Chain A
Amino acid sequence: MSYRGNVEVVVKGGQVESFLNNLIEDGVKVEQIKRIDDQIVKMNVDYLAIPYLKATRKQYGCKLKFNDRSGIPTMYSKRKKWLPPLIGVVLSFLFILLLSNVVWNITVEGGSPETRYEVNQLLDTLGLKEGNWVQNMEDISTIEREIMNSIDEVSYVGISKSGSSYNILIEESETMEQNVNRDPTNLVASKAGTVDSMFIVNGRPVVQINDFVEKGDVLVTGELDEDGEVLTYAEGEVIAEVWYEVNVEVDFSQYLLALTPDATKRYSVSLFNSFEWMPRGAGDRRLLLSQDRPIYFLNWELPISFHEHYFYTEEEAISEVDLDNHIHQAVEEQLKRQLGQSVDVTYQKVLHEERYSDKVKLEMFVKVLEDITEEQIIDQGD
């Protein structure tokens, strides 16, 4: 098919060969020349050359008949009636498609104005912003998590999406009311240890710094006088030095892969979530994270969606691994996992060490500073 209009010409009689030679000498491009019988020849000619054909045909005694026209100009003129409305419909569909993927309206409900403002600010940075592409924003559960994590006052976030508008409902946590009528309690030691420091909010301390306490010993009492008549609740922290013997296993193999800090971003398109096509392959990089970016049409999610993938390049081992430092870090991590995140390791000593090919087993003695208080209700005997 030619982008210029073509005409099928039937030439009858005369000296067709000479006629053709004359045509090509004058630069007319002739295509698909076919002899039907002795008299008739069919061929395709550019339709702009028709006047020239008509002018020269008499010299060679040919009769011309013009049949089909083809090529884009003729195709257009044939479809003149219904093509523009069709193009219009397609364009308007595209327009709706485009607009369906824009965030139009965001309403934040609930909470105090300050919190709402803070939430709004945060939403802006997460891409949930009026006029933004839906594909450019983080997905809803990420936004919810992000709000919950970064704004302390918010205790619940619900994001509901209706069409291209988003409604964000926030619930603020109410500050705990001081319960004056609490039951009288003591604080007792949950573990044996040496008291390092105390912070008593309410009650009467019975131990002193550097005292050694056994498990179950009373640390802070709710009895304010000796006779046990004035009772209150005990509240506070008693930080004590506690000893542990722990077994730690450190695996070296996990330190053999180093990550390069910058991830490579790749886009892919998928149909029905199954046929995925990534124009620029990821090579042998390792997938770090992929995010789905659905495409909307009005309220519906289209089966076509595109995805964002982040890859990182894996590099072979760090040439010089500071093993001792790594052991130290890994031990600290494992201790925190075993004893709780808030503990403060003050002293550690390896009692026994055993090394395999890429594992180290350690038996350790550690001193840790932690809060050992445990609440215990004072039995009033009634």
Chain B
Amino acid sequence: MKHIPSKFSRWLTNYGMLPKDVIYDYPRVTMIGNIHLYIENHKGLLSFDETTITVKQDQGKIIIQGKQLVIKNLLAEEIVIEGVIDNVSWESST
């Protein structure tokens, strides 16, 4: 939905009651406590090890830091991470 103008998409989410992740094409990140993290709509895996996992997204990357991180499941659209998650940060390239 890149073709939707930004003004119009803001209007859509504010007044059209549409979820933001659909309109802006953002990844949706869901966490269960600090042991389980679920990212939908990612754009690929950049790098990973036991303490840091970097996931590519549309305008940058998501960095997950923690201990004993394991990628439980990896699919084209979603990624499930388990372990002790300390920090989730957002790095925007724009």
Contact = CB atoms under 8 A, between A and B. Distances in A.
Contact of A17 (B46, B70, B75, B76): B46
B74 A33 contact: yes
B49 interface: yes
Nearest to A30: B74
Contacts of B50: 34-35
A20 interface: yes
B66 to A, nearest CB: 13
Interface stretch (A21-29, A64-72, A112-120): A21-29
A243 to B, nearest CB: 90
Given A17-B47, A33-B48, A35-B48, A24 B71 contact: no
Nearest to A33: B71
B45 interface: yes
Interface in A33-53: 33-35, 43
A32 B70 contact: yes
Interface residues of A, number: 14
Nearest to A29: B75
Interface string B28-66: 000000000000000011111110000000000000000
Contacts of B76: 24-25, 27
A112 B75 CA distance: 82
A276 interface: no
B68 to A, nearest CB: 9
Nearest to A23: B74
A43 B32 CA distance: 23
Given A24-B76, A25-B76, A33 B70 contact: yes
What 9 A-B pairs are tightest by C-beta distance, nearest first? Answer: A33-B71, A35-B49, A30-B74, A21-B44, A24-B76, A34-B70, A17-B45, A20-B45, A31-B73
Given A24-B44, A27-B76, A35-B49, 15 more contacts: A17-B44, A20-B74, A24-B74, A24-B75, A29-B75, A30-B71, A30-B73, A31-B72, A32-B70, A32-B72, A33-B70, A33-B74, A34-B50, A34-B71, A35-B50
